[in-house]
Amino acid sequence: MQIPQDYIIKSDTLSGKIILVTGAGDGIGKVAAKTFAACGATVVLCGRTMAKLESVYDEIEAAGHPQPAIYPINFESAAEKDYDDMCNALEDTFGHLDGLLFNAADLGERTPISNYSVSAWLRCIQVNVNSPFMMTQALLPLLERAGNASILFTSSSVAFKGRAFWGAYSVSKAAAENFMQTLHDELEGTTRIRANSINPGATRTAMRAAAYPAEDPETVKPAEDLMPAYVYLLSDDSIGISGQSFHHSQ
């Protein structure tokens, strides 16, 4: 599925919304957090490296956008109670949640299954699959309290067709797609929460460079090019759209 052609981001497209972005300190998540703030959202910057989150916080504040919040967490080690604590903290501060962007991911190893380290496999599945499950479960009450909440999962082309040597990452992205569909099927009709996924396609970030070290980063699009799609899917303009997989053109 594609977003409407020539979708224009406006400074009030996300006005008044509370949106949590995982992996907000770097790459696509950093650009998404700054863009959502520029569209009027109060962004909860969620990630593991405090210095990076603070830097994004400072940029948003300096630009005069709504004051963001920082929620540090490491998805590799976080357990059920940590997500309950997150829910309580967000409830105390904001009372509800309008948007949830699952963006953080672990790349795992690029190696044959026969050589794949078990610890790397478990870490990748923990960060990319188990953590979004626990966070969704904890945050659903806050999302239900919002008028029209949107959950956006980040997919990948390897989610739709497994690829040699991509191991746990490939499996985790297929799981994220199915989780999105399962969630959509459960929530449709009984809540106003929608769930969709987006495959950003090749994007100039540290993860892309790690996966394709021989590639010239200048040949790959910047994360800014993705933002109309991300804003659209978190804004009220996409109300009524749920259970869909979006693919950004390269």
Q: How far is the CB of 142 from ligand NDP (least distance, A)?
A: 20
Closest residue (Cβ) to ligand NDP? 27
Q: Which two tokens stand for residue 194?
A: 């929608």
Point out the catalytic residue in the list 57, 71, 169, 232. 169
End-to-end CA distance of the chain: 14
**Which of 98, 106 has the CB closer to ligand NDP?**
106
- Told to check if 248 binds ligand NDP by CB under 6 A, we report no
User: Measured between alpha carbons, how far is 76 from 126 in angstroms, rounded to an integer?
Assistant: 6
Active site residue 230: no
Size of the site for ligand NDP (CB under 6 A): 27
- Told to check if 206 binds ligand NDP by CB under 6 A, we report yes
Binding to ligand NDP in span 40-79, by CB under 6 A: 47-49, 52, 74-76
Residue among 14, 28, 183, 226 that touches ligand NDP (CB under 6 A): 28
Q: Which two tokens stand for residue 216?
A: 């010239």
- Told to check if 207 binds ligand NDP by CB under 6 A, we report yes
**Which of 82, 144 has the CB closer to ligand NDP?**
82
**Which of 143, 176 has the CB closer to ligand NDP?**
176
Q: How far is the CB of 12 from ligand NDP (least distance, A)?
A: 26
Handedness of CA 132, 42, 47, 31 (dihedral sign): positive
Residue among 27, 66, 108, 167 that touches ligand NDP (CB under 6 A): 27
Taken as a whole, the chain contains a residue count of 250
Query: Rg of the chain over CA atoms, in angstroms?
Result: 17
- Classify burial at 110, counting beta carbons within 10 Å of its beta carbon; exposed 0-12, middle 13-18, buried 19 or more: middle
3-state secondary structure of 1: coil
Q: Which two tokens stand for residue 168?
A: 């746990």
Binding to ligand NDP in span 142-161, by CB under 6 A: 154, 156
Of the candidates 199, 229, 195, the one whose C-alpha atom is nearest the C-alpha of residue 3 is 229
Residue among 103, 136, 150, 170 that touches ligand NDP (CB under 6 A): 103
- Classify burial at 173, counting beta carbons within 10 Å of its beta carbon; exposed 0-12, middle 13-18, buried 19 or more: buried
Residue pair 207/27 in contact (Cβ under 8 Å)? The answer is yes
Q: Which two tokens stand for residue 248?
A: 């950004």
Stretch that binds ligand NDP, among 85-93, 98-106, 179-187, 234-242 (CB under 6 A): 98-106
Residue among 160, 202, 222, 243 that touches ligand NDP (CB under 6 A): 202
Residue pair 194/147 in contact (Cβ under 8 Å)? The answer is no
**Which of 11, 250 has the CB closer to ligand NDP?**
250
- What are the residues binding ligand NDP (CB under 6 A)? 23, 25-29, 47-49, 52, 74-76, 103-106, 127, 154, 156, 200, 202-203, 205-208
Residues catalogued as catalytic: 169
